[in-house]
Amino acid sequence: MATQLSLSVIILCCNVRPFLADAVTSLANNARDDFEFLFVDDASTDGTAEALRASAHRLGKRATVLRQEDNEGPASARNRGLDEAGGRYITFLDGDDWLGRGYLPKLLDVIQRHDVDFVRTDHVRVTGLRRKLWRAPAARRNVPLSPRESILPVHRATMVDYPYSWAGVYHRRLLDRGLLRFPDGLHTAEDRPWIWNLHRRADSYLVPSLYGVFYRRGITTSLTQVGDMRQLDFLRAFDQVLAELEHDHEADLLRPKAIRNYCAVILHHLANTQRLERSVKRSLKELSAQALRRIPHEHLNAVLAGMNADRAHTLRRLHGGRRSVIG
């Protein structure tokens, strides 16, 4: 009798050959007969495909390697994994990160015991030899919560400011409802529309006192570090958040949070232009200004009024100094 799959782990791999052994070892330390591991190679060019063929066998027959012939970005790659996932529950991992021993069984136990739509966890950020525990913003732990109620307040970090898809596990019913798929084609910030959609439309979630994902920072091949036009996909991502929000029955309540998110990410990129190509720097300023001008003045004014004066001033200048925004 075939073992019914409890968990599908979708591992995104794009030019991660130096780190793949750590990821596979950590998965082997979490493997069970009812787990499957779906490696999606997003057209790597550094030998990741060969490394996968050499190492994935350690996970036995439950390991599958899927190859994207064109580099379509993490959104499309994760969607490819979702298309193949057979588990009752689904989680994600990036191929340059790793898991603590026994983390996945503990994670699965939490969502099964509480029968919530999804679980979100803390994680450890690794920068060189330094490690720092990064906590999910929800204050209440180990009790079922309303995803929608965890979007606000506007002026404090909330769960939509914690978009990492790999920091949690998700019931298959969310996939059946169309809530786990990512916006195809986005190379960065693909998790922003995803997390907003999840928190607006799912019914329940929980944050346990549990961590086990070790997230590498500062890797030169990571999309968070590249300096080309892919960095500017965050603009399309937040445009999608705002467009979808207009159909929400609480749009007026939630919109200020989304606009504030958008402004915060624009400011983050403006403050970190040193890694960007010169043409990308120009495009960042021009396209960010256009994005701000697309937001109705009264909505943008209300958000800027609640921000730090220096940050608000930077955004007003970027906008172009229109009186309705300055005033």
Residue 2 has pLDDT above 80, yes or no: no
Specify the pTM: 0.94
Per the CB < 8 A criterion, the answer to whether 230 and 141 are in contact is no
Per the CB < 8 A criterion, the answer to whether 214 and 97 are in contact is yes
Give which of 280, 255, 266 is closest to 315, Cα–Cα.
266
Give span(s): CATH 3.90.550.10, the chain.
7-216
Report how far apart, in Å, the C-alpha atoms of 180 and of each of 76, 153, 163, 222, 275 are.
12, 24, 13, 23, 31
Q: How is domain 7-216 classified at the CATH fold level?
A: Spore Coat Polysaccharide Biosynthesis Protein SpsA; Chain A (3.90.550)
Residue 221 has pLDDT above 80, yes or no: no
Whole-number pLDDT of residue 313? 95
Whole-number pLDDT of residue 111? 98
Burial of 272: CB neighbours in 10 Å, binned 0-12, 13-18, 19+: exposed
pLDDT tens readout for residues 52-108? 988 988 998 899 999 999 999 999 999 999 999 999 999 999 999 999 999 999 999
pLDDT tens readout for residues 124-180? 999 999 999 999 999 999 999 999 999 999 999 999 999 999 999 999 999 999 999
Helices (H), 29-70: 48-55
> What tokens were used for 74?
């993490």
Whole-number pLDDT of residue 323? 45
Work out the average pLDDT over 111-117. 98
Per the CB < 8 A criterion, the answer to whether 187 and 71 are in contact is no
